[in-house]
Amino acid sequence: KKSSAVTPINLDSRERVHEFLNKFDFILSDCDGVLWVNNGAVRGAAQAINKLRARGKRVCFATNNSTKTRDEFHQKLTKLGFEADLDELFPTSYSTAVYLKSIGFDRKVFIVGQSGIAGELADVGIESTGVGADPTPRHWTPGMAEVDLDPDVGAVVIGFDNQISFPKLTKACSYVRDNECLFIASNADETYPHPDPKVAVPGPGAYVAAIQAVTGRDPIPLGKPYQYFFDIIRLQHPEIDPKRTIMIGDRLTTDMVFGRNNGLKTLFVQSGIGTYDDMINFKNSQDPEDHKCVPDYYLDSLDDLNKYL
């Protein structure tokens, strides 16, 4: 049976890159694994993005990372040499605040995550709790989870939390078990990139799955690959034409699927989590769902574009 997957084009010549450039006006770029890994810029990435801007391309940064506010992401981009304006930054900490504001939410949010979400919520006047250490007391036994639940909490928001603990999960599950409480995944990435391929770093998807298992409820997803995340970008940039927009990412299962779900073309770079072999496996898969993970174009990293720009 013939595969319904696209055949990805390697942008490995001046001619291909120029043909590629003529097909879009707007760039949505992921951040972790595309522009930087941890705190170091991907070599040549800032130069490539800035050159694309110089050619008149519009750029927005669309990241599932909720650990920082837009201001903090702006500082990081600037420090690493990327030209960027605040209204071009779309972390899921921001999409969460926009969503809750848009539905007139007026209660407190319990966050399993970091200060980025709390900061963006505060900017729209929403109170939150939960950020920071909440260690498991030594005397706890499994059936003896002593937690104080705040009656004002009306939503649980999940992001990346490097201080995840048993009390935090217990509180999150207890709140979410009440059907009146909103259950929101700022993103549900299962893992984060690590320099050592043998190390598996659990992402927010791991905590989301735990809460789903306990409560039987599915979250409202506010990051990639879902449509709502693109709606938020379009709200600020109504001039975006999906047919003339490219999504650049390193994660085949979120960035490429996000592109497919929203009618965008996609460019896969191998400077982060995904590999060439992963791409080929998705292309050759018998499962049509896997074909959504196949990009239109691919490169080793954004630095490769610099040869032709």
Annotated binding site for Mg(2+): 30, 32, 250
The DSSP element (H or E) to which 32 belongs, if any, is none
State the DSSP H helix or E strand holding residue 175, giving kind and residue range, or none if neither.
Answer: helix 166-176
C-beta separation of 107 from 153 below 8 A: yes
How many CA within 13 A on the CB side of residue 81? 15
Nearest alpha-carbon partner for 148 in 162, 126, 130: 130
DSSP, collapsed to helix, strand or coil, labels residue 44 as coil
131: amino acid identity, one letter: V
Q: Which of the following is catalytic: 32, 161, 189, 296?
A: 32
Q: Is 30 designated active site?
A: yes
Known binding-site positions: 30, 32, 224, 250
Which position among 12, 25, 30, 277 bears the catalytic label?
A: 30
* Residue ranges at the known binding site for substrate: 224
Phi-psi region of 38 (alpha: psi -120 to 50; beta: other; left: phi over 0): left
Q: Compute the distance between CA of residue 303 and CA of residue 309 in angstroms, rounded to an integer.
A: 10
152 among known catalytic residues: no
Q: Is 11 helix (H, G, I), strand (E, B) or coil?
A: coil
Catalytic residues: 30, 32
